[in-house]
Structure formats: C-alpha cells, structure tokens
C-alpha cells in the first residue's frame, strides 16, 4: 500500500500535466475547473498527511457543506438540516475518537432525525422529511469511513475522479447504449472505460485489491447515478453553484461516497 507522502509526486505530476493539457485547449471552463483542482488537491492532501485528526476535520467540513446542498435538493427545513449536519459530524468525530461506537452514533443520529418531523406533528410532509433525512445519514455518513482509511481514502478519491473523467470522454466518443435513464448522457462504453482507468490508477498507486476495484468500478458509477436521481427529483442540474467548474461539492464527491460505502461493506 502506498503512503500519503508517496502520493504527492503522482498528484503534483497529474496537476502539472492536466494544466498543460487544459492550457492547450484554451477553453475557459476547463481552466476554471483546473484552478479549482489546483487549490483543492493540496488542501485535501495536507489533511490526509496529518492523519486521522486532519482527515476528521476535512470530513466534518465536507459533511456540513454536503448537508447544506443535500437539504436544498430535498427541500429540507433549517431544523432538519441542522440535525442531519450534527448527525454527520457526530459520526465523523466518533470514527476518530471512539471507532468502536460508530454504529451506536449512527443509531442516535437516526433517532434524532426521525424525532424532528415526529415531534413537529408534520402529517403532510413528515414521511418525506424522514426518508430524506435517513437517506442523507446513510449517503453522507460514508464520509466517516475516510477517517480510518489513511492513504487508501485519498487513493480512492483519485481513482474515482480519474474514472469519472475517462467515463465522460469515452462515452461521448464511443457512444452506444445508455447506462441509465437517470443520466441519459452516460453510456455503458464510457462506464466500462472509466472503470478500467480507475482500476489501473489503483494498480499504479499500489492500492489494488479486489475490494478497492469493486468500490471504484461499481460503487463510483452507482454514486453518480444516485445523485442524478436526487437532482432529477429536485429538477436541478447541479447540487450548487459555488464551486468553480463543478457546480456543488456533492457533484464532486457523489461517486466517492458510494465507493467508500462499498469499501466499508466489503472491508
């Protein structure tokens, strides 16, 4: 298995090569996206370099932002969002400080989420709020899995990102049958090419096991489709508009979240 310091040359090289390729295209949207990566990759790498404390802080901050975007998509009120946010941060901190109590923390979070619509007596929208809150807890709660993952978590993020990029490009050029009606632009050809690229990235970064391969090849595309389903239900294109070139944070970590969940189940 690789280490976080061992990943730095690969990440730096990838950013440099990507920057040259983007500059050659002279496309403004690609340049904006590369600049966002150039800022985000060092921040994320630095957090992983610090070990569990740094990863926990990063996962908690990402969790709070993701809850805000998720709450907007599912039309959750401020109290629902606040309780879900506390539940996600609580899961992350428990994974750091008391890893043996993660399941108990998840149960407490689920009860708190259920209590909000129940205590408010919301007969009209209570079931929707409860379902949305529990979905958020399961989906976004996978961030807690980053804390004990070490360098593997960072490698997983790199691999699913590469898989996403290759899947997008290959699908556009190769065409073929659609992957799902949830995302008409995605093709089986692109998904298979992306899976192969992601698995190759795992091998290059010395992190290829059957568990990580399944997480990237299957969990990554499922995560993308899950967010597509949520966004289609909300009738929006992006989870947010604040992240240059990517829309929202959920648009960048959707594949990682389900890949993490798959890895946790298999690991």
pLDDT at site 18:
80
Residues 17-51: tens digit of each pLDDT: 888 877 887 777 778 878 888 888 899 999 999 99
Half-sphere exposure of 113 (CA within 13 A, CB side): 28
Whether 244 has a pLDDT exceeding 80, the answer reads no
Q: What are the Cα distances from residue 175, in Å, to 51, 142, 144, 168, 199?
A: 42, 32, 37, 10, 22
The pLDDT tens digits of the residues spanning 210-241 come to 999 999 999 999 999 999 899 988 888 878 77
**Angle (nearest 5°) at CA 262 between 38 and 95:** 75
If pLDDT is split at 50, 70 and 90, which confidence band does 245 have? low
56-70, 169-183, 184-198: the lowest-pLDDT one: 169-183
Confidence label for 69 from pLDDT (cuts 50, 70 and 90): very high
Chain segment 76-108, per-residue pLDDT in tens: 999 999 999 999 999 999 999 999 999 999 999
The arithmetic mean of pLDDT across residues 57-86, rounded, is: 95
The CA distance from 177 to 180, in Å, is: 9
Q: Contact, 240 vs 62, CB < 8 A?
A: no
Tell me the percentage of the chain whose pLDDT exceeds 70: 99
* Contact call for residues 15 and 222 (beta carbons, < 8 A): no
Is the confidence at residue 63, as pLDDT, over 70? yes
Of 32-36, 178-182, 196-200, 218-222, the range with the lowest mean pLDDT is 32-36
6 has a pLDDT exceeding 80: yes
**153 and 205 Cβ atoms separated by less than 8 Å:** no
């Amino acid at each position: 298995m690789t280490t976080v310091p061992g990943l730095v040359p690969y990440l730096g090289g990838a950013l440099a090569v990507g920057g040259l390729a983007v500059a050659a295209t002279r496309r403004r949207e690609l340049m904006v996206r590369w600049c966002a990566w150039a800022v985000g990759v060092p921040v994320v790498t630095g957090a992983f370099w610090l070990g569990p404390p740094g990863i926990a802080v990063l996962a908690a901050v990402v969790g709070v932002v993701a809850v805000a975007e998720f709450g907007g998509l599912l039309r959750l009120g401020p109290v629902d969002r606040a309780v879900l946010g506390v539940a996600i941060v609580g899961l992350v901190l428990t994974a750091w400080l008391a890893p043996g109590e993660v399941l108990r923390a998840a149960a407490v979070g689920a009860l708190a989420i259920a209590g909000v619509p129940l205590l408010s007596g919301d007969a009209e929208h209570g079931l929707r709020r409860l379902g949305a809150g529990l979905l958020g807890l399961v989906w976004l709660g996978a961030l807690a899995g980053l804390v004990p993952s070490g360098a593997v978590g960072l490698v997983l993020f790199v691999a699913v990102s590469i898989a996403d990029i290759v899947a997008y490009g290959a699908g556009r050029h190769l065409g073929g049958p659609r992957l799902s009606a949830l995302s008409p632009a995605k093709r089986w050809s692109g998904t298979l090419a992306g899976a192969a690229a992601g698995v190759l990235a795992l091998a290059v970064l010395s992190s290829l096991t059957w568990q990580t391969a399944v997480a990237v090849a299957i969990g990554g595309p499922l995560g993308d489709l899950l967010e597509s389903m949520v966004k289609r239900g909300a009738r929006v294109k992006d989870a947010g508009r604040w992240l240059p070139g990517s829309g929202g944070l959920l648009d960048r970590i959707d594949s990682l979240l389900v890949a993490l969940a798959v890895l946790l189940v298999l690991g």
